[in-house]
Chain A
Amino acid sequence: GQQVMQIPQYQHVQEGEDFTTYCNSSTTLSNIQWYKQRPGGHPVFLIQLVKSGEVKKQKRLTFQFGEAKKNSSLHITATQTTDVGTYFCAGREGSNYKLTFGKGTLLTVNP
């Protein structure tokens, strides 16, 4: 079945440093979504990427979808303490609504 791998599992940075998490699917995806889960909270939708090679930005966050639609990345510029949380990618195959989540990357930021 479909597998979505995400690295790194943990990342600790100093405030102001950049952060990147990578996601790789075993199969071609129709789209990929990114979620953020704060400690003790539930996943919150950040963005969806659909097109091959797509790049989207949300303030300090940059999301990319690979040309082959099998990998994606989330890059945060100049991290802040409010960025702390676990970032999950979730991929969808074909027209199936089901999402397969990566294991997530836990980001901690040292002020």
Chain B
Amino acid sequence: GAVVSQHPSWVICKSGTSVKIECRSLDFQATTMFWYRQFPKQSLMLMATSNEGSKATYEQGVEKDKFLINHASLTLSTLTVTSAHPEDSSFYICSALSGTVYNEQFFGPGTRLTVL
């Protein structure tokens, strides 16, 4: 089946630093990937849609200059949280569109970001 990996699985950083999170589709090509944020005991909130070879589409209220997304290849999308602050601490999950009949989104295992 379709597998999506994320790296790192968790990261702790100091306030003001930048953190890069990688999302890879391991056994399929994904022209479209999605980045979600999930706060404790809450639902997944879509942050942006990442399209290979083009600029990401950000949801309303998400700062594109703070959350930089790069989808340089059909199997890799990266999310960089720039100048992270404690309120950015969250569970960041990516998903990749499989492109099958069902257009399933296969989710990565998530990255737990803690900003001190």
Contacts and interface: CB of A to CB of B under 8 A. Distances in A.
Nearest to B45: A101
A102 interface: yes
Contact of B44 (A41, A45, A97, A101): A101
Nearest to A88: B43
Interface of B: 32, 34, 41-46, 49, 60, 93, 97, 102-110
A43 to B, nearest CB: 5
A41 B6 CA distance: 13
Contacts of A102: 43
B104 to A, nearest CB: 5
- Of the candidates B41, B43, B104, B106, the one having the most CB atoms from chain A within 10 angstroms of its own CB is B43
Interface size range on A against B? 10 to 19
A45 B76 CA distance: 21
Interface of A: 1, 33, 35, 41-45, 48, 88, 97-104, 106
Given A97-B49, A99-B46, A44 B107 contact: yes
Contacts, number: 43
A51 B30 CA distance: 26
A45 B105 contact: yes
Given A42-B108, A44-B107, A97-B32, A104 B43 contact: yes
A45 to B, nearest CB: 5
A81 B102 CA distance: 29
B43 A101 contact: yes
B42 A103 contact: yes
